[in-house]
Structure 1
Amino acid sequence: MHQPTEIYTSRAADFKQQEQTAAGIATRVSWLRVGVFVAVVAAAYFFFNSGNNLAGALTIVAGYMLFILVMRWHGRLEYQRKQYSLLHELNQEELDRLKGNLNKLESGQQFANDHHPYSSDLDIFGPNSLFQLLNRSVTDIGKRKLAGWLQHRALPHQVLQRQQAVAELSQPERLDWLQNLIAISRHYKHEQDQKKDFFSWLMENHFFSKHAYLKILVFILPVLTVAAILAWMYGYSGYPAVALLVVQSLLCYQHRVARDDFYENSMAMYEVMRSYSRQIRHIEEHSFESELLKELHQKLHAGNVKASVALGKLSTIIDFFSYRLSTLMAFFLNTILMWDFIWIYRLENWRERYLKQVEGSLDVLAAFESVASIAAHQYSNPDHAVPELSEVPFEVTAEALAHPLIFSSERISNDFAMQGVGHTIIVTGSNMSGKTTFLRTVGINMVLAFTGAPVCARRMRVAPVQVYTAMRTVDNLAESTSSFYAELKRLRILLNMTEQGEPVFYLLDEILKGTNSRDRHLGAMALIRQLHQRYSSGMISTHDLELGAMEEELKGSVENYSFNSTIEGDKILFDYKLHRGICRSFNASKLMQLMGIAIEEE
């Protein structure tokens, strides 16, 4: 088994060294560029000063071409230097993940939803979340795809396909390819919803369909204007040239709002499209073996041109559009060549030919990024198991099951097994003993399993179910909702879900804690009896020991488990191990004493 910490440390050091070497070469080439410029100016001055105008002109042309070549060489070196820097940064982040340092990573807070069946209670999004642990994507489409996978369980065949794809990309020989795919997108700026906003805007704006006459003028006016200007320079009348320039200026003024709108929306996508194009090219240049990756790869070649080429065309259009960034340049380009109109026409033509293909290819890219994120996580955690999907209703069987967001070297794991419809595990325990954490451990690993990711366990078998939780119910002043009523609303949703026939696995923490002990006890027992009659199973943590009596009432369907603690002097000791039976050790009084509350001992 490979050692991720040692590998990432070594790679980080190697990429740092390569970055420094590339930076040195880039600096020397930068000075070469200056040298070429000075040499060309000096040589041209010499020839022109000597009266050899032809040699001077040839020197300028040749020097310009040489300068462009050196400048492009320098650009490639700078890109490679930055790539090494990003790869160094990426490997450092992997080391941080292994240590549990997630604070600087993307939290996915934008996907948080308190009304989701489980994401808030199981820390799927937000600070110190599962999303932070898994996500390696920079692009908005990649983040959204992974978030969707974490929010909605995949069908069994999809889980198997993702597991195979993750297994392929997590192989040691794939690590370079995998990290380069992740690093490529970091060269460019990405903002939320850019792709969706741009494509939606582009589909709604049809400039030339509203101004069909401009299609003809776009091709005729620039030719006539340039010809008239040349004729003027050769001694012919300048009136035709001036008239044509005025016509173009008036057209530009008339449509200035639409031109600016196209320009601003297009420029906002320039960096993003370059990123998409490079990433997709990186995918296109490789072959794959797993069913899902082969299927995705084939979609990139489904159109008349490769997806990366189609995206490259869009990048080129936007790049030419950007030439009008300078006010002076914009004036000359638009009053002589109808520059904006030409590239609006090209953009609309691109939309008709490639938009659907590109939208499909970006969905492919998002899926690749999501698989890559999970694969990187699997590579970093070779001791995590690939879960098996069970056909036994509500089976959850695990060995050495632990919480993936607990990074302590003393992380405690537990074995656990349950199965069958209408089965409830009641978990009792003293304060801080770990019962709530265990429910979250079971839930978050089930989410990982249904995403197609490895689980934090030695082995796990789990049946496909809808996970539902009620743990962190809080009051809402804006809605005049108490925490007790908020919990009742969550439980009402649970009952509604179980009426639909869909398998629901519930995780309920300290249910009905906002009311008196008698009502809480009666209500909890009634809920367990009701859920026992539905197509559901799950776990309930509680301090209410009376619920343990339901093991006798519903034999074989209700089981008691517990977490215990021991008190030694002024210390409360926890083993965080799951035990069979009801909890018999309590520590609330001792905890209150330690906090300074005077409790009289009996």
Structure 2
Amino acid sequence: VEGRLVGLRRQSERLTAVRLTLFFLGGVGSGAIFITLGAAVWAATFLLFFVPFVVAVVVHRRLERSLRRHEVWLQLKQHQVARMRLDWAVLPLPTVADPPADHPFARDFDLLGARSLHHLLQTAVSHEGSQRLADWLLNPVPDLATTQQRQSQVRELQAKPLFRDKLALNARLLEDKNGGWSGQPLLDWLQQPTVPPQTRPILWLLAGLGLLNLGLLLGNVLAGWGAWWVAPALLYAAIFMLASRRSQSLFKEAWFVETRLRQLTAVFHLLETFHHAGPLAELVAALQTAEKRPSHLLRRISRIAAAAGIQNNPMLWLLLNLFTPWDLYFAYRLDQARQTLAALLPGWLDCWYELEALGSLANFGYLNPATTYPTFVAASSEASCFAATQIAHPLLPETGRVGNDFCIEQVGQLFILTGSNMSGKSSFLRTLGVNLCLAYAGGPVLANTLTTALFRPFAAIRVTDSVVDGFSYFYAEVRRLRALLDALQAPSTLPLFFLIDEIFRGTNNRERLIGSRAYIQALMGQNGVGLIATHDLELVQLADEMPAIANRHFRDEVVAGQMVFDYTLHPGPSPTTNALKIMRLAGLLPEGSGEIWLD
């Protein structure tokens, strides 16, 4: 692609030089010939330069379009490479609405914003397609039928990389100067008031008066009938002026609609003509109905826009409107087209937005062969409701990414996750949460296998204080844990899948331990499953008191004076801590300081 671009740019530069040469020679040369040899020779000479100049302009424009397509194509491929390498600086940052501050997991799982899951997945050009993908990832209450339908559509799209590339290319070509594209201005135009219902009879009346005026005027000129045309002409003018208020912005409206729809021509044409026999067939059916294809309506709008364009020519506009209600007629036609569009365009745009969001998920699976599609099961107290093999975090580089096996046997089970600092506890919590969001959105997950029930995810991983609201860190944490407990106790057919990183870390050790034990006891016996990462090794003893609690841990070791982590999940509680190791390696503790070991 890069080699082809170099060739196209050279051709463009040569054509620019040719155009300038023809323009200069044609202007200066034909002017000199007109002065010296007369008009006849000048006309021949002018044509001799003018025709090649026009041809050069046409060819150059075609070349520029090809150049633009190749530039966009190269950019798309560069973005694909950046997604595989997690090169965030290359990937465009999408703009979507911020989730509510009290969203149950958006901030905790890094779903939106820079270096987020949405940033990695998002290939949509339309703002609405990007927002739809974000909404899917943020959905707190998944629906099985919707999720399975999306998953089947994503599977089909993943197997059609050429279609996805063509759709992305055509969409990228219609980006505005700020990046992206929005259909909202078109939808806003569709909501404008319609022309009055009496417009049609007024059109007939004006058409009749116009013909009468023309006949009487011709009779006066050719046969000397007298000025009988004056009275009908005044009546015509009065009615026309009263009725044409709606048509004053005709050209502006027609140009706006035609321009916006013309931008979508390539996108809609691809959706109209591409054959889908699988789950996508129903989605694109609205664009493939023979009588209601976008291309048909676009041609209709283009004709109206061309007719409305006479407002740019005052003489022609005056001549036509003297004897025909030209503006009013095409304002009426545009309003009819608008009413047709109002019934069809939202569905067409919705289809495109849906395909963009689905395509983002499909592209993730295509670029990551290690992904798989999850299987959904019913939540039960008698069978595994979550089982993953080699599940990993998609926002971690492949070279440093470690997969883990993890299984939740039944609803009501709780895991206490211990391990030293930097061993991978928080990352593992996010790994589970991010992959659940991917699964419920209908996309592939980064695991060898994943079988899961439908859960309501909730996390307390990234809790922050608020100067604006006057919340200390500890109070913010208490509020978050209270919200989690309320969600757990709320009546729902879906169990809660909760993930907590350190309980009550904003207070002293004694009160934290007392509060943590009480909070964990409150979590037990509810409609949910969860994991709690903690440094409080005393909490692992709860597994001896409550059969539904199990311990898991991550470990580390010091090799040649350096701390080494395997990021692998192990059964049981953590045998060591490493805070003193880290402080000693940083020179904050004297040599010989002891390590803390569990009995």
TM-score by length of 2: 0.80
Following the alignment from structure 2 to structure 1, what is the Cα–Cα distance between the partners of residues 422 and 373? Answer: 30
Following the alignment from structure 2 to structure 1, what is the Cα–Cα distance between the partners of residues 6 and 211? Answer: 51
Give the counterpart of 2:82 among 96, 120, 125: 96
The equivalent of 2:542 in structure 1 is 550
The equivalent of 2:448 in structure 1 is 458
RMSD (Å), alpha carbons: 4.5
Other structure's SS at 2:350 match: helix
The equivalent of 2:555 in structure 1 is 564
1:134 to 2:126 alignment:
no
Following the alignment from structure 2 to structure 1, what is the Cα–Cα distance between the partners of residues 423 and 309? Answer: 62
1:148 to 2:135 alignment:
yes
1:443 to 2:429 alignment:
no
The equivalent of 1:391 in structure 2 is 378
Other structure's SS at 2:558 match: strand
Following the alignment from structure 2 to structure 1, what is the Cα–Cα distance between the partners of residues 367 and 218? Answer: 66
Give the counterpart of 1:585 among 576, 592, 599: 576
Could you say if the C-alpha distance between residues 211 and 297 of structure 1 is closer, same or farther in structure 2, counting changes exceeding 3 Å? closer
Per-residue CA deviations over 1:518-563 (Å, capped at 9, x if unaligned) read 33223222332222222111111111112211211211x1111111
Could you say if the C-alpha distance between residues 494 and 167 of structure 1 is closer, same or farther in structure 2, counting changes exceeding 3 Å? same
Amino acid at match of 2:170: I
Other structure's SS at 1:111 match: coil
Following the alignment from structure 1 to structure 2, what is the Cα–Cα distance between the partners of residues 213 and 482? Answer: 70
Kept after mapping to 1: 8 A contact 2:385/2:451 = yes
1:378 to 2:365 alignment:
yes
The equivalent of 2:167 in structure 1 is 181
Amino acid at match of 1:586: T
Following the alignment from structure 1 to structure 2, what is the Cα–Cα distance between the partners of residues 109 and 513? Answer: 33
Per-residue CA deviations over 1:95-133 (Å, capped at 9, x if unaligned) read 111111023323345333232221211111111111121
Could you say if the C-alpha distance between residues 51 and 480 of structure 1 is closer, same or farther in structure 2, counting changes exceeding 3 Å? closer
Kept after mapping to 1: 8 A contact 2:379/2:495 = no
Other structure's SS at 1:127 match: coil
Aligned-pair distance for 1:71? 5.8
Following the alignment from structure 2 to structure 1, what is the Cα–Cα distance between the partners of residues 486 and 11? Answer: 66
1:289 to 2:277 alignment:
yes
The equivalent of 2:465 in structure 1 is 475
Kept after mapping to 2: 8 A contact 1:566/1:572 = yes
Amino acid at match of 2:342: L
Amino acid at match of 2:3: Q
Amino acid at match of 1:287: H
Aligned-pair distance for 1:397? 1.3
The equivalent of 1:500 in structure 2 is 491
TM-score by length of 1: 0.80
Other structure's SS at 1:409 match: helix
Following the alignment from structure 1 to structure 2, what is the Cα–Cα distance between the partners of residues 337 and 204? Answer: 27
Following the alignment from structure 2 to structure 1, what is the Cα–Cα distance between the partners of residues 438 and 211? Answer: 62
Could you say if the C-alpha distance between residues 232 and 540 of structure 1 is closer, same or farther in structure 2, counting changes exceeding 3 Å? farther
Give the counterpart of 1:414 among 375, 388, 404: 404
Count of aligned pairs between the two proteins:
569
The equivalent of 1:361 in structure 2 is 348
Kept after mapping to 1: 8 A contact 2:255/2:305 = yes
Could you say if the C-alpha distance between residues 343 and 68 of structure 1 is closer, same or farther in structure 2, counting changes exceeding 3 Å? farther
Q: Determine which structure has more spread, i.e. the larger CA radius of gyration.
A: 2
Kept after mapping to 2: 8 A contact 1:218/1:342 = no
The equivalent of 1:525 in structure 2 is 517
Following the alignment from structure 2 to structure 1, what is the Cα–Cα distance between the partners of residues 71 and 435? Answer: 34
The equivalent of 1:350 in structure 2 is 337
The equivalent of 1:597 in structure 2 is 588
Following the alignment from structure 1 to structure 2, what is the Cα–Cα distance between the partners of residues 544 and 150? Answer: 32
Amino acid at match of 1:389: F
Amino acid at match of 1:469: A
Aligned-pair distance for 1:484? 1.9
Other structure's SS at 2:149 match: helix
Could you say if the C-alpha distance between residues 307 and 149 of structure 1 is closer, same or farther in structure 2, counting changes exceeding 3 Å? farther
Following the alignment from structure 1 to structure 2, what is the Cα–Cα distance between the partners of residues 229 and 590? Answer: 105
The equivalent of 2:414 in structure 1 is 424
Amino acid at match of 1:563: F
Aligned-pair distance for 1:437? 0.4
Could you say if the C-alpha distance between residues 375 and 194 of structure 1 is closer, same or farther in structure 2, counting changes exceeding 3 Å? closer
The equivalent of 2:597 in structure 1 is none
Following the alignment from structure 2 to structure 1, what is the Cα–Cα distance between the partners of residues 541 and 359? Answer: 48
Aligned-pair distance for 1:405? 0.7
Aligned runs of 1:91-240 on 2, under 5 Å?
91-113=77-99, 114-152=101-139, 154-171=142-159, 174-190=160-176, 194-206=182-194, 208=196
Fraction of identical pairs, as percent: 28
Between stretches 438-447 and 69-78, larger displacement belongs to 69-78
Give the counterpart of 1:484 among 471, 474, 488: 474
Amino acid at match of 1:495: L
Could you say if the C-alpha distance between residues 128 and 222 of structure 1 is closer, same or farther in structure 2, counting changes exceeding 3 Å? farther
Structure 1: runs of 5 or more not aligned: 1-14
Structure 2: runs of 5 or more not aligned: 595-599
Give the counterpart of 1:433 among 417, 423, 441: 423
Could you say if the C-alpha distance between residues 506 and 365 of structure 1 is closer, same or farther in structure 2, counting changes exceeding 3 Å? same
Could you say if the C-alpha distance between residues 165 and 104 of structure 1 is closer, same or farther in structure 2, counting changes exceeding 3 Å? same
Kept after mapping to 2: 8 A contact 1:589/1:599 = no
